[in-house]
Amino acid sequence: MPKNLTFERLLPGDDLGLGVRSGAGRWVNKDGSVNVRRLGVPRFRSYELYHDLITMNGYWFMGLLVTGFLLTNLLFAGIYLAVGMEHFTRPGGAGLLDKFLDAYFFSAQTLTTVGYGHISPGSHLASAVAACESLLGLLSFALATGLLYGRFSRPHAQIRFSAQALVAPYREGRGLMMRFVNRRSNQLIEVEVSVVLSLRDPETQMRRFHALTLERNRISLFPANWTVVHPIDETSPLAGLVEADLLASGAEFIVLVKAFDDTFSQTIYQRTSYTAAEVRWGARFLPMTKVELDGSLIMDIELLDASEDLA
């Protein structure tokens, strides 16, 4: 089982830290992030700057760009005032505010390289500062170009998982089922899935992890939805368990999906988990697809969670 999660033995010997001692909470959140808090990480790390700028919220990012623009102009307006507005071809207003605003908008015209010229540097000193500012402007916008591209070209899996996992009839017995769809219209191919069950040992309070056998763990095309099925047969760690057992042992089903994005030639990963409380017993999923009269298939993404309780 080399492709399955097996962190129960991640930590050897006496080094029992992670994965075994974890307490009441869930390991993996619904959004796929892992519940580990890190200490000792310095607040500013240059090697994280790009990562942070790329992954931060889009509105914050735009705000950062605009704030940077405003502050840089403020800085250069200060420098131009210090140089003296008499170094410019159109000295502008006499009051300090007028001078400041003249300097500020001259700075903006220089930083963006618009350079109308109705105000322009009239001395070599002012020219030198303006040359620095225009170089800074160009490099900043080169950076912004790269960041914007980096932001929207990075892989974005949009796999949506059913809110609940179901224990449903499967062949002669029962199976644990969860399903997911690709919310995007791009084609995902060579999709792989693995499911791991985490259980707390009632005696030692240590966690044990079990890779669950799946009816199918790889498909070549993923045009519609996929219902992942773990058959609860005699080899399953769920054999003989009932709902109360899972709740009592703090069970958590961790789901890992890997796929290849055909459009952008990128491998993408997505994770989620289901706690015992998110497993419904004795229910089954309703179909998400139907065949039209003309033989074509329709899938309704809104039906992802559609299910029915069984008598």
Q: Considering only residues 129 through 148, tell me which ones interact with a second copy, judged by CB under 8 A.
A: 130-131, 134-135, 137-139, 141-146, 148
181 and 159 Cβ atoms separated by less than 8 Å: yes
Q: Which helix (H) or strand (E) holds 248?
A: helix 243-248
Burial 26-40, CB ≥16 within 10 A → b, else e: bbbeeebeeeeeeee
- The residue written with tokens 């368990």 in the block is 241
CA atoms of 209 and 5, how far apart (whole Å) = 8
Residue placing its CB nearer to a second copy in the complex, 60 or 269: 269
Look at the chain and count its residues: 311
Burial class (CB in 10 A: 0-12, 13-18, 19+), 137: buried
- The residue written with tokens 């890997």 in the block is 258
CA atoms of 180 and 226, how far apart (whole Å) = 6
Count interface residues toward a second copy (CB under 8 A): 144
What's the min distance (Å) between Cβ of 281 and a second copy? 15
Checking DSSP bridges between strand 279-281 and strand 165-170, what pairing results, if any? parallel
Using CB under 8 A as the binding rule, whether residue 15 contacts a second copy is answered as yes
CA atoms of 149 and 154, how far apart (whole Å) = 8
What's the min distance (Å) between Cβ of 243 and a second copy? 19
CA atoms of 145 and 139, how far apart (whole Å) = 10
Residue from 47, 96, 234, 240 binding a second copy (CB under 8 A): 47
Tokens of 79: 């420098």
Find the binding residues for a second copy in span 204-243 (CB under 8 A): 215-216, 218-221, 223-227, 229
Using CB under 8 A as the binding rule, whether residue 303 contacts a second copy is answered as yes
Residue placing its CB nearer to a second copy in the complex, 69 or 281: 69
The span of 16-24, 76-84, 235-243, 273-281 binding a second copy (CB under 8 A) equals 16-24
Residue from 74, 75, 114, 239 binding a second copy (CB under 8 A): 114
Phi, psi of 302 (to 5 degrees): -65, -20
Using CB under 8 A as the binding rule, whether residue 164 contacts a second copy is answered as no
Find the binding residues for a second copy in span 53-92 (CB under 8 A): 54-55, 58, 65-66, 69, 73, 89
- Contacts of residue 33, Cβ cutoff 8 Å, sequence gap at least 6: none
What's the min distance (Å) between Cβ of 13 and a second copy? 5
Phi, psi of 95 (to 5 degrees): -70, 160
Using CB under 8 A as the binding rule, whether residue 12 contacts a second copy is answered as yes
Using CB under 8 A as the binding rule, whether residue 6 contacts a second copy is answered as yes
What's the min distance (Å) between Cβ of 80 and a second copy? 14
What's the min distance (Å) between Cβ of 272 and a second copy? 13
Which positions from 173 to 202 touch a second copy by CB under 8 A, shown as an x/- string? --x-x-x---xxxxx-x----x--------
Residue from 83, 85, 108, 193 binding a second copy (CB under 8 A): 108
Tokens of 252: 């958590």
What's the min distance (Å) between Cβ of 71 and a second copy? 13
Find the binding residues for a second copy in span 246-285 (CB under 8 A): 256, 260, 262-269, 271, 284-285
